[in-house]
Chain A
Amino acid sequence: MAEAISLSKADLTVVPAVPASVAVPAPEKSETAEKPRPARTPRPPRPNYRHIHRFPLPVNVHHVPSVIPHNPLSIISVALSYLTFLIYPPRQEIYTAYFDSATSSVHVTGEKTIRALWEMGFFGKGSLSRSEPNWLEQEKKRRGLMGGNTVEEATRKRRAERRQLKLERARHEKLAVEERLKAEAAARESGSVDGLSIDGAAEAAAISVERFSVKRAMEARYLERRQQAIQNKNNSESADSLQTTNGSSGHFSPAVEKKEIISNSTATLQSIEDDLDLDTLENEEHLQLSTEEAFFLVYALGALRVVDRDNNVSIPTPSLFSLLRHHSYYPARHDSSSLEADDPFMISYVVYHHFRSLGWVVRSGVKFGTDYLLYNRGPVFSHAEFAVIIIPSYSDPYWSETEERREYADNKQARSWWWLHCVNRVQAQVKKSLVICYVEVPPPDDSSEDIGAELGRYRVREFMLRRWVPNRTRD
């Protein structure tokens, strides 16, 4: 197994250099692996993320020159800096977004604002991108206006390659089974009944060896294919012929293959259309902020103002607060309906604010089945280490006063073991630590207009959950 892997790696590095010698059988290639590594096409340098994302929040910070006790001049420079700020206070940029009541989300369309909110604190998500709003760039690259690859393209390519490998594997396994059947039939005809069953285990070894060689052959073959594909492209052959030569065998259903062919042909059609409107490429993407992000930017940082889309009037913070609380239900509640202490927005915002105030970059965890993901500094720097699920807790005596309330609270805080195991297993698979975040819901209180006081009544408590495997803690 280990040999096979190292060999395939050697192949991978060598093949681009020797396009003509693809027919060379796999075992001989290990010799060529000793050759010096051919120079790869230089990768475009990574952007300097440290510089781009040097501000953790979209708020300007002005450092004061430090006071040095034995240097009286330093005091003057400090005083001067304070004076300049008094006379000419620096302007804090306030960005604009609008609230879309139909989708209960906050949209940002200004190009500058989108970049600012993404670069300083990783707020929002591009509506047409995976995460960072880079649709325009992606589109330009796709149409050949810019060099390099986008992350989305890299993912797509990786997935296609993996799929191809799987098809190849399935094909080889099918071939192996067919050969085995033929051999068995031949053995049966020749009359030697015991030829197969007696040394069945010996054949087990044979087939496992065979399987590894299948893997090896498969990889060599795959590389060969890729080489061909590149050549085909260079000769500007149509993509469809490539499709038919490639893995249409194997035992994937014909429907899947057909779909692939269709998608391929539409892609070619698309590229023809693209050639027509190269000049008129406009950014059709906007940044979508979650309600928690928007409210944090407005209420906590004062870096954003949310505008009502209908009448272009900026929404004051208290009204935005109740608006978002009403819109945290589906369908959204009417403005006149009363606010509840356990509005979903309240509970999720409390947790969002809590982790943001500790310096974490909080982003949605929906792709891992959790409420939030916690990034240290930001997604471009490191993977999220923690995944947070939120469970409301109704431990205040108010919630157990009457039978009706008790039932309501029980309903709201009950989670099944199966759900918990599911979430936990997924997090283990993606190597994240699961954090259960309980939010204690206070009794309802309508009198308060003070948002800070309202938020302060909620309490947050975190637990770390992970599987315990007794076999691994025995030492």
Chain B
Amino acid sequence: MADADEDAVRGTTVEATQIEVDLSDETQDFRLLNHLNFLTDTSSSSLPRRGEKDFEPNPTEFQADVLSASRQAMHNALAHPRLHNPKTQVIAIYAPEGPPPAPAVTPGQDTAKTPSRGASVSPDACVYVPSPKGQYFKSMGQADRKGVIWLLPEEALYLLERGSLDIRWPTSITGGTTVEEGSEEEEEKLSIPMSLQAAYTCLIGRGGLTLERFTVFSSLKRIGYAISRAPGWDESTEVDDSVDEHSRHAYTQPLKRGAGLAGILGSIFNWINDPKSTSSTAAGPVIGYGIHRNYADIYKKLALIPWYDPTLTPTRNSLNTSSPFRVIFYVYKPSTPIKKSALPPPDFRIAVINTREQTTAPTLPELSALLESTPLDPPHGEKMARQMYMRLRHGYRNVILAVVDQGVTSFLRVADVAFGKERLYEGANVPTGPKKGGNFRKKKR
């Protein structure tokens, strides 16, 4: 059976390697799960490939067999016993009251020894791990001064869901026998494990964690990104810098002819070229009926519409945005080295939107405020300098909207562009080569 499937796999290699195919959009052939060997052999690194699709039912028994084989395979995969090695088991305890308030630091004493510890535990954290081990705490959790790691609700829930964490009810809730402070091992043995349902009930809705936010968090976390909360997480913190007028000044005004010698000379040449001065923006024609020297001058005269220049706007405070159009997650690529105490600038900034609450796409003020709260990220690099289309696609500021529609997430990258900064008529941007060759990108349909 496995051999046969591998044959089918080899057949579809070409299709599977095409990056244009969005893997997440395909239906899965679960028969492939049957010969997945990661369950037994962790050294194998090959990923399963997908089979061929049947588009409609036919009365053959063959198709029915394939279908039932596929179902059986999925069942087998789900029924595979998942074992937890007691050596790697991590036990956490739910603390509904949150972390204890940091004791007032007596000056000159503690700060010298452990300056970074303890101060960074978020008040939203509600699960603590007394003896942390394993790789997960490299990018998650915050340690307090005792070396106990505190997890935010989304982190705890994510770890619980993937079976890497065992959350226990605290004795204060279960009302078990009170144990002495030092004997934590005793406490772990006696405590009651929290079910997944209970964890969802307790943790979703805590400290601003909505189901939409958790969906986005866990889906990105699962494919390897590191995620931290952005300052805009808490909806109630809103700062009004009254910078709303900033973006108004970022529009270019149509250029006026300057004074001085250049202006005089310019008007003389203007008169020679267009002695009756037929050029008029009031009633047209804008470029006049006179003699035109080159097309670039014509295009310059045509520039009447003010356009937005993203480089002119100062970056606004990220708290001066209104929910849901505000950055709430900082996302780091798996390759980015992360140090929890000093986070680098994020690779992506994400705003999470629930389409059932925010039913309309953003209006200009909303989108503008969101983008202004992100730092300027102009196109850079040799490739971008060469390719205008690439520069335009990159934009000057960018943000990612995670639009969650009842559990289905679509990520949209929005970038601030300025077509006005790329003057096509100046000639440097003229593409070469015939249409068929595809100048900048692959062949289009």
Binding site for B on A (CB under 8 A): 1-2, 46, 56-57, 59-64, 82, 85-86, 89-90, 92, 177, 180-181, 184, 196-197, 199-205, 207-209, 211-212, 298-303, 316-318, 350, 353-360, 376-377, 380-383, 385-386, 391, 393, 395, 413-417, 419-421, 424, 429-433, 435, 438, 440, 449-453, 455-456, 458-475
Contact = CB atoms under 8 A, between A and B. Distances in A.
Interface in B387-445: 389, 392-393, 395, 400, 403, 405, 410-420, 422-426, 429-431, 434-435, 439-442, 444-445
A205 B4 contact: yes
B349 to A, nearest CB: 11
Contacts of B403: 417, 421
B309 to A, nearest CB: 10
B143 interface: no
B425 A1 contact: no
B405 A417 contact: yes
A59 B284 contact: no
B123 interface: no
Contacts of A357: 299, 302-305
Contact of B410 (A196, A459, A467): A467
B286 interface: yes
A383 B305 contact: no
Q: Which of B359, B365, B389 has the most CB of A within 10 A?
A: B365
Interface centre among B15, B305, B361, B419 (most CB of A within 10 A): B305
B239 interface: no
B71 interface: no
A448 to B, nearest CB: 9
Contacts of A56: 295, 425
B243 to A, nearest CB: 14
A200 B69 contact: yes
5 contacts: A299-B284, A385-B441, A395-B364, A464-B392, A469-B22
Given A184-B62, A417-B403, A429-B445, A462 B289 contact: no
Contacts of B445: 429-431
A2 B303 CA distance: 52
A197 B64 CA distance: 10
A87 B170 CA distance: 99
A472 B288 CA distance: 51
Output the residue of B52, B66, B435 with the most chain A CB within 10 A: B435
A16 B393 CA distance: 45
A450 to B, nearest CB: 4
A458 B305 contact: yes
Nearest to B441: A431
B431 A382 contact: yes
B367 A196 contact: no
Interface string B191-210: 00000000000000000000
Contact of B61 (A59, A89, A184, A413): A184
Closest 9 CB pairs of A and B: A452-B281, A302-B285, A359-B425, A359-B424, A393-B364, A299-B284, A357-B302, A461-B308, A468-B411
B230 interface: no
B170 to A, nearest CB: 36
A204 B8 contact: yes
B353 to A, nearest CB: 8
Contact of B430 (A197, A376, A440): A376
B162 interface: no
Interface stretch (B92-100, B131-139, B147-155, B219-227): B219-227
Contact of A300 (B23, B285, B307, B348): B285
A468 B365 contact: no
A450 B12 CA distance: 64
A416 B417 contact: no
Nearest to A377: B430
B284 A201 contact: no
Nearest to B62: A180
B360 A302 contact: no
Contacts of A207: 62
The residue among A391, A424, A470 with the most chain B CB atoms within 10 A of its own CB is A470
Given A202-B3, A359-B424, 7 more contacts: A199-B4, A204-B31, A301-B285, A393-B363, A395-B365, A413-B364, A456-B305
